[in-house]
Structure 1
């Protein structure tokens, strides 16, 4: 009855299968939490979605920025980029069925029996867990509802960059989704900073990693955040957070941490590079 959290897979299905073999994963008893970005950049987005979807209730997935980009492209409001590897999935006979399943995934997942909260990127400093939970449900309803098509038309953009409860409409939803799926750094006033994507040790002045931002309202006792998204950060543990994107796509590792028994060491599988940065 083990529960494992796994970092960003990015369509690297073979490393995922090998990691599960190494874990001794039992699909009849064990549960997997995925940090999002199941698709894109890697070689097999369709196969990865088929595999994870086939796990049924034993797999919990939160949406990442690449997952949302895929859905926006499907809706006709996003353009494929040179680095995207999504066309085979978009052309697949079961593509719409797989994407319909993906669109129903949440932005935040938690289990009342475990002291963890799963999101793709992080939380801005103005949000505690209760606020994050409420705003996740708000954005999820929009992503799944009849207004999802116009939402994807307004999805892209870096503004607004600072949370205010008074935000409304597309700007409010864009901020919420950006915070859950694109966040790495904030400035001292809590504004989201998107340009720099490297490690914190080399960040420009006034760039604070989200987990160390001034005025952070998230308290570790309210739940340890499990996140991915930030491959140049890698595996890190701190008060109230564990980061799990260890760059499988770039020849790093695919990492799993056991949530129900923290005494068990992290399992990391070295991966051949599916892509080179750039």
Structure 2
């Protein structure tokens, strides 16, 4: 059995299948970890969901901001677009959306020594806190009141964790940190505006990648994340970043994580899978 982690797919179904063929993925015995953003922008979002659903017993998925936006569009909270419309119009829409609503914000595997969240884990959280808060929002997204709760997630929230905030503000922070985080300030405030790489110019503004923040709580497991195509493939002793910009004509990357040495395999992505989609630019906490 092999365990492979894959970065943001964003509906690039052809590239996903090509990568799985290259790593000789066998859904009967191998495992996939998907680091979120399964859908949107790429032309094969429906096919991506249908395929992953078909092998769901062998897949671990964490939700990304695009996946949350898809669920919100299903409930009429957000606008549809040409790449997610086929999902919403599919006769299997309810089944696929209900399956997505049951996915995680954080996946933990002590045996392998890894955990996974789409954007990472807030520097304010140790592993126990991260697991507790992730479970809290997972239960709400999977509940019968998901639409009411989710609509409240698309309002401006706090950028630093505050135990004394309202429960809904705490939930907003949790969802945002797991799905949108890239940079933080020295006091652990998160910045959701800067989307580029961690250049010297960005650092001069007092910003660091979240995983370099001073006094970040120790997670004790290596964190796999995506979400940051301008960072690209990055690994150190603490993190492994796998969003290599497939949607933008870059690569789709898989990392084998059940070996002593991580094995990295990538494929070049086709420009044909890019889609010019008019974005909803309303000021929401889950806007990418």
Deviation digits for residues 140-191 of structure 1 (CA, Å, limit 9, x no counterpart):
1111113211112111144211102223322111110000000001111111
Q: Aligned to 1:251, which of 238, 249, 252?
A: 249
Aligned to 2:159: 161
Most deviating of 32-41 and 206-215: 206-215
Please report how far the alpha carbon of residue 277 of structure 1 lies from its aligned counterpart in structure 2 after TM superposition.
8.2
Please report how far the alpha carbon of residue 203 of structure 1 lies from its aligned counterpart in structure 2 after TM superposition.
2.1
Aligned-residue RMSD, C-alpha: 1.6
Deviation digits for residues 91-146 of structure 1 (CA, Å, limit 9, x no counterpart):
11111111111111010112232100010001121111111011000111111113
Aligned to 1:21: 21
Please report how far the alpha carbon of residue 76 of structure 1 lies from its aligned counterpart in structure 2 after TM superposition.
1.6
Aligned to 2:57: 57
User: Where in structure 1 do 4 or more consecutive aligned residues deviate above 3 Å?
Assistant: none
Aligned partners of 2:274 and 2:97: how far apart in 1? 23
**Is 2:37 the partner of 1:37?**
yes
**Is 2:264 the partner of 1:269?**
no
**Is 2:102 the partner of 1:104?**
yes
Aligned to 1:195: 193
Aligned to 1:235: 233
Give unpaired runs (5+ residues) of structure 1: none
The number of equivalent residue pairs is 274
Secondary structure at 1:174 match in 2: helix
Aligned partners of 1:92 and 1:31: how far apart in 2? 27
Please report how far the alpha carbon of residue 276 of structure 1 lies from its aligned counterpart in structure 2 after TM superposition.
7.1
**Is 2:172 the partner of 1:174?**
yes
